[in-house]
Structure 1
Amino acid sequence: MRLISSRQNALVTSYRSVTRRQRSKTDNRIFLDGVHLIVEAKTAGLAIQEAAFDTDRLDSRDEELLNLATSLKTENTRIVKVTKSVMSAISPVRKPSGVVAIAERPSPNLDDLLTNNRAMFLVLIDIQDPGNVGAIIRAADGGGATAVVTVGATAEPYSWKALRASMGSAFRIPVVSHNDINDLVLRARKAQLNILATTPRHGSSLFSYTFPSNPLILLGNEGAGLPREIVELVDDTVSVPMRAGVESLNVAVAAGLVVYEAYRQRRMTQ
């Protein structure tokens, strides 16, 4: 296994190009930090293109890293060892975990997903915090959602920050990016999905609401929520009851509550 000790090595530029904010839309690479995410990606069938291991951690016979390195070698992944200085240069994480990798981004097909006659979709509209995006994907996975769709200015769901927040769920549940909410609504209606909007108030109470068998649930921006013109497109609105004086919940918290109530009801009718 080749050792790289220079921060000027081309490998540093390659990894940094994956984690930078402004990237080509045709670049389908994603950055993975840590054994857990890399194993989750492998389990989901993603191709791990290359990996870099902290040489000190390998030399200390870290069993978890050694097992992963052995596994990746059998899959013809390009593997190198790097010094701590190089690892800190290629990883945006404050405390790199000892191994990073580049994998190919999943590419699920929205039209295929819409054919599920008992689907539950979460649609994230202009949710800008990658931590919130990742947390919602994790909740959607746990709550049995069919897929997550990101729209508008929503943070990139496969960015390294969102992936760390989703804890591998982005590899277990399909996550699709779509440009046009109006087109998505039209497709959802053709697929006979019921379109719901989450609103801070004035919607049906989550405590008493009966979810349809195939909901498409819209979640809006952290500060502004859903635009009025989008709320006007939906079949129903749902609100989480709150104590007086509380304006709203964090969008990831609200998403978790809504998803798990829908999940509870769906399990009761199976």
Structure 2
Amino acid sequence: MAGNDGRHGGVRKTNKKGAQKGSGGQIRRGLRGKGPTPKAEDRVYHAAHKRKLERQRREKGRHQREQTELVVGRNPVLECLHARVPSTALYVAEGAANDERLSESVRLAADRSIPVLEVNKLELDRMTGNGMHQGIGLAIPPFEYADIHDLLADAAQSPKPGMFVILDNITDPRNLGAVIRSVGAFGGNGVIIPERRSASVTAVAWRTSAGTAARVPVAKETNMTRTIKEFQKNGYQVVGLDAGGDHTLDTYDGTDNVVIVVGSEGKGISRLVRENCDTIMSIPTEPWVESLNASVAAGVVLSEFARQRRLAQ
């Protein structure tokens, strides 16, 4: 019968096919698109990639320089060196006229192992943004702020009751520096300032503190109301200084854990901060004196509380 013949050519051919070996999809995957070609600067073997890395390195260095404050002027630089403000370098312009202040600044820097770098006057102009540097500049690194929880923990370890100052609406770094100095002088544990709308620990604050900023911790907090509640939770009485308070310094007992809140001379303490204080206290003064400078007010209260604590020992 046709089709049953086993001889070659006698087998019926059909279009049916069984399982066959295939590429396993490799050809199909090979034909698939690989997406857009990467930019030249993203290809590690390309010269543009090396230029990109160099550009990033320069930008990082510029950012670090911007964070470093440069104190300029012969008197300010000398004051910072006398106050032992942390410094990373002393820049002196080539050909700068020498005088006693410049010589003493170089000597103090050398004594403290601060690098003294001679730079071109135009370079110092560029670094300072103006030509008013008098041929000298001192590089100050960013201040390292403390953490509020660390301050509370350290105060809890001390046998003495804690005493802190919170500054609200204080924008003058000289006031901040003076408060830091008073806190150190009268046995306080630290200063807390807001993250925004507040003076920071700059070279001016360092100078005004007469170097005590090296030993008095300063914390920077974003939410002062929350900070006050954190102190209260840890057993602190929060006293806001303001004229016409319900207590006066003459009658207030400052021998326990206390936080002194000081506002600006003009605006005073902000509403939310005032509402969360346990007590509003005033400082007795002559009637014709309208108000005290913020740093003076803080110093007066710190001194009185320190006196009370000495008598209570």
Partner of 1:50: 89
Task: Choose which of 142, 148, 151 in structure 2 pairs with 1:113.
Answer: 151
Task: Choose which of 266, 290, 294 in structure 2 pairs with 1:223.
Answer: 266
Equivalences for 1:15-164 in 2 at 5 Å? 18=66, 27=67, 29-32=68-71, 33-38=76-81, 40-41=83-84, 46=86, 48-53=87-92, 56=96, 64-73=104-113, 77-82=114-119, 90=128, 100-115=138-153, 116-117=155-156, 118-151=161-194, 153-164=196-207
Q: TM-score, normalised by structure 1?
A: 0.74
What CA deviation, in whole Å up to 9, does each residue of 1:143-201 have, x standing for no partner?
22110100254433322332332222222211111110122012212321111111112
- Which deviates more from structure 2 when the two are superposed, residues 62-71 or residues 222-231? 62-71
Q: Is the 8 A contact 1:34 1:97 kept in 2?
A: no
Q: Secondary structure at the match of 1:106?
A: coil
Q: Is the 8 A contact 1:53 1:99 kept in 2?
A: yes
Q: Is the 8 A contact 1:125 1:221 kept in 2?
A: yes
User: Structure 1 pair 205/161, CA: closer, same or farther in 2 (3 Å)?
Assistant: same
1:257 is aligned to 2:300:
yes
CA distance in 1 between partners of 2:124 and 2:246 (Å)? 49
Q: TM-score, normalised by structure 2?
A: 0.65
Q: Is the 8 A contact 1:193 1:216 kept in 2?
A: yes
Identity of aligned residues (%): 26
CA distance in 2 between partners of 1:212 and 1:259 (Å)? 11
CA distance in 2 between partners of 1:268 and 1:92 (Å)? 54
Q: Secondary structure at the match of 2:177?
A: helix
- Total equivalences in the alignment: 243
Structure 2 gaps of 5+ residues are 1-57
CA distance in 2 between partners of 1:252 and 1:96 (Å)? 31
Partner of 1:206: 249
Partner of 1:166: 209
CA distance in 2 between partners of 1:96 and 1:171 (Å)? 27
- Choose 1 or 2 for highest CA Rg: 2
Partner of 1:21: none
CA distance in 2 between partners of 1:112 and 1:37 (Å)? 28
- Which deviates more from structure 2 when the two are superposed, residues 61-70 or residues 167-176? 61-70
State the superposition RMSD in angstroms. Answer: 3.5
Once the two structures are TM-superposed, the CA of residue 53 in structure 1 deviates from its matched residue by 3.5
Q: Is the 8 A contact 1:30 1:158 kept in 2?
A: no
User: Structure 1 pair 70/205, CA: closer, same or farther in 2 (3 Å)?
Assistant: same
CA distance in 2 between partners of 1:91 and 1:160 (Å)? 17
Q: Is the 8 A contact 1:133 1:155 kept in 2?
A: no
What CA deviation, in whole Å up to 9, does each residue of 1:2-49 have, x standing for no partner?
xxxxxxxx9xx979x64xxxxxxxx4x34454245346446xxx5x33
| Higher relative strand content | 1
Where relative contact order (Cα < 8 A, 6+ residues apart) is larger, the structure is: 1
